[in-house]
Structure 1
Amino acid sequence: MVATRWQGVASPLMSLVIFILGHGLMSTLLTVRLSAEQVDAQAIGLVSGTYFAGLVLGSFVNARLIVQVGHIRAYAAYASLICTLTLLHGLVVDPWVWAGLRLLGGFATGGLFVVLESWMLVSSTPRDRGKLMSLYMILLYGALAAGQLLLKVIDPMVLAPFALCAMAASLSVIPLALSRVAMPTMIQPQQVGFLELFRLTPAGMWSSLSSGLILGAIYGLLPLYFTDNGYGLERVANMMAVVILGGMCLQYPIGRVSDRLDRRLVIGLLSALLALVSLLMVILPAPQPDWLATGLIFLFGGLAFSIYPLSLSHACDELKPDQVLGANQGLLLAYSLGAMVGPVLAPSAIQLFGPQGLFAYFCLCGALLTLFLIWRQRVRAPVPLAEHQQFIPVPPNTPMTAELEPRPDVELTQAQGEAS
């Protein structure tokens, strides 16, 4: 029985790995190519920001389409669209065209994640969802880091790397196309208004927003920081892999610590350390020695990628169980708004201070979040430790991740039928 359940999630996990290999390469490839084309940081940030705008649209809108046509058909349609858009990036190199393509690409990517995560949801039980989420996170970040390393063996100035990313999107359909799964029917979560969430869990919402401000700039502009500081393509690939691996490795131990302390204190310490590491990146001469740069970037990634799942865990602590699923949508929206705005704001700091301005921006984001959380600890008592929910590392992809978690007490019914 257990083997059967894990066979049910093997297909979406295989598709995830194949797709993310190309997706991880694509996100860094675009920044490297635009930098080589002498495009200014503001335009590069805009290209990155439009992707997150499309991602949040896809996350919330595409669920209806998936229910109507089935998981496999929907996934194939989204993957085909991403494949076409990826090739268009290589054929028409223009930041304004790319901004439009990334908007559509984010929309389709949001749909892909809804398909994969809802498939895993219906193929698992509350008892094994904790293990499934851990495996999902490892494969997601591992494939994302491996995608960065592909930069070392390709030429970003030709069509070939874009074709490679398109092939990954296309090939990711195969594991799902050869599988069968019942269509999930999920209960409608209790809706929690966006402004109401700010009242119920202000620390959770502001932490999610700040996480988006930071991670959006990391994905869109960190490769630009490395190239502007004279890093070769191979070293850029290595450093982008390191920042993602830092996020993968440090989230769980940090989260376990937060189970035993006021999470606002833990998030505040993380943001303060992030501001400190960013300040070191500003004041230390660039490029730093390999060992120092690698260590700082690994720590920076671990701190930056841990803020969102901690903010969601803190919100779960403060909200009623029947509010968690609806609240996850609000926190994801706050994150996505930050991820849209961050790549557009950060270039202003780069224009003022040069490449180091990116880390000056990260320092400011971390410092402001720290000050806010210090204030919140003064005006609201902490959630009793006995009421803490167990920390689960969650990627900010779709609201479906909240239902994959074993924390909310949510009953799911499963309709009979095929997803094809």
Structure 2
Amino acid sequence: MATRSVSTRQALAPVTALLIGVGLLYLGFGLQTTLVPLRADVEGFNRFSIGLLGSTYYAGFVAGCMFAPFVILRAGHIRAFAAMVSLVSAAALAFPLVIGEIEWIVFRFAIGFCISGILVIVESWLNEKATNETRGIVMSAYVIITYVTITIGQLGITTMPLTNFALFSFCSIMLSLAAVPVALTRASQPVAIPVVRFRPRLLFTVAPAAFAGAFISGVMTGSLFSLGAIYAVDVGFTANEAAFFVSAAMLGGALGQYPFGRVSDFVDRRLVILIAVGATAVVALVLTMSASLPQPVLIVLGLAVGFTMLPVYSLSAAHAFDWTDPENMVETSAAIMLLYGIGSTAGPLISAAMMAVVGPGGLFLMIAVASAALAAFIAVRVMTRQRPDETMRSDFDIFSTAPVGGALTPEPIPEDDPLLETPYFAPNPEPVPPSGGEEHGTAAGADAATHPLNTASETADMEDSTRG
């Protein structure tokens, strides 16, 4: 046990300042995610407008996934980190100063964009500082810190009234402090961030179940964390009690990651996804029809829906990685995250419309319908396609599949990865014909069937070069 402790300290020592910054960031961010919709409700925003606030955050996050790397290339990691943290901190203070639906939508979009950029910086930094031996410890610590601090931050609204300016001030303080350990670190910043090509169509060709799982997971998760507190208030919770409901869902998601992921190492991951979304549909229907249950029961049901629903993204990512060759891991991870963001953008709008029609239960009715639709799709895929060969599968790694950041990958990013581009510094490399042509020809049909992403990727690259 002593050796393990020393090893863990040695692994985390080079990234301690960065992990402290992440913890402070998510304390403020977690508080803000619950505070903004509840304060919007106090200010008289209708349900659709509150749902739009959630959607615009995720729309900003998607935009950040695509464009924030260019900002980092231009300014460098530390300056870009400081700039984005400053913008998020300023937006936190702007909410109570300028109260209006349009203004708040702009603030939420900016926050989503900046949070996405911050995560790109943090994760690329962690990837570079970690070695093959310490990567699991470093990334697992990162994921644990994320879940714990978001959960604690969400409970921050219980400390004072929603109308108190101090809550937004506390958000701003935590977000501002997050920049301090990063700005003062003596560690060298990572090399220039490569820009990944987003090709979700290729992911659908290779792993349709992962494609659908990532998108529907975004729809459900974006809905729950944008409108979960509003659901709780509408069924009789106070604002403080609503924070416990949302935090219970987050805690349930953290608890569900490992058991679902570990089971999926021994059976077809799609079957585990099917079980998870089937259970989600059942719990969501109970929440839809049982809003009059005692509040402790509803909080337990909130924990249960988080336990079954949040691991769906991780399982989908792991399934996609099973079908992906190592050199294509980065692109696959980026495509999954993009699909998750798009789903998270659409989900709150649909859920808000459902709540306007059928009442607060509309939120979980939408989640039940979405999870049932995904279950049906997964069932069809299980019957029409075998699971990957055991030689292609890898063990579930929470740090490489957690829906808390950008393109986390199980392995270090190779510097010569042909799918990475650095557009400000070099043109796209010319396609290089693969060596050993006979291995890539029609005689290698078995290999093409076993490794579909290689074949699909090469075909897509040829199409890209033909289009110029």
Residue identity opposite 2:95 in structure 1: H
1:411 to 397, 410, 414: 414
Hey, what does 1:325 align to over in structure 2? Answer: 330
CA distance in 1, matches of 2:280, 2:330: 29
Residue identity opposite 2:133 in structure 1: R
Residue identity opposite 1:411 in structure 2: P
Hey, what does 1:49 align to over in structure 2? Answer: 55
Q: How does 1:191-210 map to 2 (within 5 A)?
A: 191=197, 193-210=199-216
Contact (CA 8 Å) 1:122, 1:183: kept in 2 or not? Answer: no
Hey, what does 1:389 align to over in structure 2? Answer: 394
Summarize the Cα distance change of 1:378–1:70 in structure 2 as closer, same or farther, 3 Å threshold.
Answer: same
Residue identity opposite 1:258 in structure 2: S
Task: Give how far 1:409 is off.
Answer: 6.4
Residue identity opposite 2:408 in structure 1: T
Task: Give how far 1:66 is off.
Answer: 2.1
Hey, what does 1:352 align to over in structure 2? Answer: 357
CA distance in 2, matches of 1:190, 1:71: 17
Contact (CA 8 Å) 1:261, 1:385: kept in 2 or not? Answer: no
Summarize the Cα distance change of 1:290–1:398 in structure 2 as closer, same or farther, 3 Å threshold.
Answer: closer
Q: How does 1:89-100 map to 2 (within 5 A)?
A: 89-100=95-106
CA distance in 2, matches of 1:166, 1:37: 20
Task: Give how far 1:292 is off.
Answer: 2.1
Summarize the Cα distance change of 1:189–1:115 in structure 2 as closer, same or farther, 3 Å threshold.
Answer: closer
Hey, what does 1:154 align to over in structure 2? Answer: 160
Q: Verify: 1:399 aligned to 2:399, yes or no.
A: no
Contact (CA 8 Å) 2:124, 2:193: kept in 1 or not? Answer: no
Task: Give how far 1:294 is off.
Answer: 2.5
Q: How does 1:253-332 map to 2 (within 5 A)?
A: 253-284=259-290, 286-332=291-337
Could you list the runs of 5+ residues in structure 2 that have no partner in the other structure? Answer: 1-5, 417-468
Could you list the runs of 5+ residues in structure 1 that have no partner in the other structure? Answer: 414-420
**Deviations for 1:128-185, whole angstroms, at most 9, x for unmatched residues?**
1112222111110100000111111122113221111111111111111221222333
Residue identity opposite 1:215 in structure 2: T
Count of residue pairs brought into register by the alignment: 408
Q: How does 1:234-245 map to 2 (within 5 A)?
A: 234-245=240-251
2:341 to 327, 336, 342: 336
1:179 to 185, 188, 195: 185
Contact (CA 8 Å) 2:322, 2:388: kept in 1 or not? Answer: yes
1:233 to 239, 248, 252: 239
CA distance in 2, matches of 1:70, 1:4: 27
State the SS of the aligned residue for 1:184: coil
CA distance in 1, matches of 2:299, 2:356: 25
Residue identity opposite 1:200 in structure 2: V
* Cα RMSD for the two superposed structures: 1.9
Task: Give how far 1:197 is off.
Answer: 1.4
State the SS of the aligned residue for 2:360: helix
Summarize the Cα distance change of 1:203–1:189 in structure 2 as closer, same or farther, 3 Å threshold.
Answer: farther
Hey, what does 1:418 align to over in structure 2? Answer: none
Residue identity opposite 1:353 in structure 2: V
**Deviations for 1:103-148, whole angstroms, at most 9, x for unmatched residues?**
1111111111112111211111122111222211111010000011
Deviates more, 1:53-62 or 1:198-207: 53-62
Deviates more, 1:181-190 or 1:148-157: 181-190
When the two structures are superposed, what TM-score results if normalisation uses the length of structure 1? 0.93
The percentage of aligned residue pairs carrying the same residue is 30
Task: Give how far 1:187 is off.
Answer: 8.8
Compare relative contact order (CA 8 Å, sep 6+) and give the higher one, 1 or 2: 1
**Deviations for 1:322-358, whole angstroms, at most 9, x for unmatched residues?**
1111111111111111000000111121122111111
**Deviations for 1:266-302, whole angstroms, at most 9, x for unmatched residues?**
1011001000000111222x24224422321111111
Contact (CA 8 Å) 2:127, 2:412: kept in 1 or not? Answer: no
CA distance in 2, matches of 1:201, 1:185: 31
Task: Give how far 1:50 is off.
Answer: 0.6
CA distance in 1, matches of 2:85, 2:196: 31
Residue identity opposite 2:199 in structure 1: G
CA distance in 1, matches of 2:287, 2:406: 34
Deviates more, 1:113-122 or 1:333-342: 113-122
When the two structures are superposed, what TM-score results if normalisation uses the length of structure 2? 0.83
Task: Give how far 1:411 is off.
Answer: 3.5
Residue identity opposite 2:381 in structure 1: R
CA distance in 2, matches of 1:333, 1:145: 24
CA distance in 1, matches of 2:192, 2:175: 28
Q: Verify: 1:79 aligned to 2:85, yes or no.
A: yes
Q: Verify: 1:250 aligned to 2:256, yes or no.
A: yes
Q: Verify: 1:108 aligned to 2:114, yes or no.
A: yes
CA distance in 2, matches of 1:33, 1:162: 10
Hey, what does 1:365 align to over in structure 2? Answer: 370
Summarize the Cα distance change of 1:11–1:147 in structure 2 as closer, same or farther, 3 Å threshold.
Answer: same
Hey, what does 1:416 align to over in structure 2? Answer: none
**Greater Rg by CA:** 2
Deviates more, 1:393-402 or 1:295-304: 393-402
